Structure 1
């Protein structure tokens, strides 16, 4: 439960939105979406690229706060709240439309269960 361990885990988790954000900015040509043979719809492509950029920005913000993780509680909480809300959106989709591909189920679990755990851990380190 040390500061250093929290920094390492946060940095590793921060790389997930950085990497997937860059990929999603490829729109429907993202390797994951391309393999699903989605229609080349301009609105879908535009939204994927927009949300990929937002996701990339969130990941960069997570990486930025790692060196001062115990002092950036407000930003840390805001970022993890956004991640949790994204997981809630995925859960809503899962209940309304069915299960997505397995990686997205894992992301949902990480977002919904990992966010509260990360908030608790950062609070303990900050004290």
Structure 2
């Protein structure tokens, strides 16, 4: 029971990153990353991707109430986040390390999110075995 509460809190806290970053990107556009001016298409694309980020965070939060039964949703959301992280990693390989916020995002995408998914799966497995 304590572990279930702990993983719920961790997912709630971790979900703050995509929710708040996504919301900021939707509202601020490229100004969020310090761009003074950009073509309208670039701003539109950035806001769209920020909306997806916001949606991912809300999706993770939607798992919290029934967490032991949300392994499939957690895995799908995690796969999307890891795919994005791999895209960011390609950018690192092609252009070098980004600034600190983007480097921290890479850590969230390729380390923290998969660990949270693994932890949720462990809790779900234990819950299923206790009820059987």
TM-score normalised by length of structure 2: 0.87
Task: Give 5+ residue unaligned stretches, structure 2.
Answer: 126-132
Residues 38-97 of structure 1: CA deviation (Å, up to 9, x unaligned): x32111100011001111111111111111111011101111111111111110001101
1:28 — aligned with what?
A: 30
1:56 — aligned with what?
A: 54
Residues 16-44 of structure 1: CA deviation (Å, up to 9, x unaligned): 111000111121232xx2x343x321111
Q: Secondary structure at the match of 1:2?
A: helix
Equivalent residue runs for 1:1-127 within 5 Å: 2-25=3-26, 26-30=28-32, 33=33, 35-37=34-36, 39-127=37-125
- Native 8 Å contact 1:81 1:115 kept in 2: no
- Native 8 Å contact 2:10 2:116 kept in 1: no
1:119 CA drift (Å): 2.2
Largest Rg, 1 or 2: 2
Q: Number of aligned residue pairs: give it.
A: 123
Partners of 1:56 and 1:109 in 2: CA distance: 18
Q: CA RMSD in A?
A: 1.4
Partners of 1:20 and 1:3 in 2: CA distance: 26
TM-score normalised by length of structure 1: 0.90
Task: Give 5+ residue unaligned stretches, structure 1.
Answer: none
Structure 1: which 4+ aligned runs deviate by more than 4 Å?
none
Partners of 1:13 and 1:72 in 2: CA distance: 16
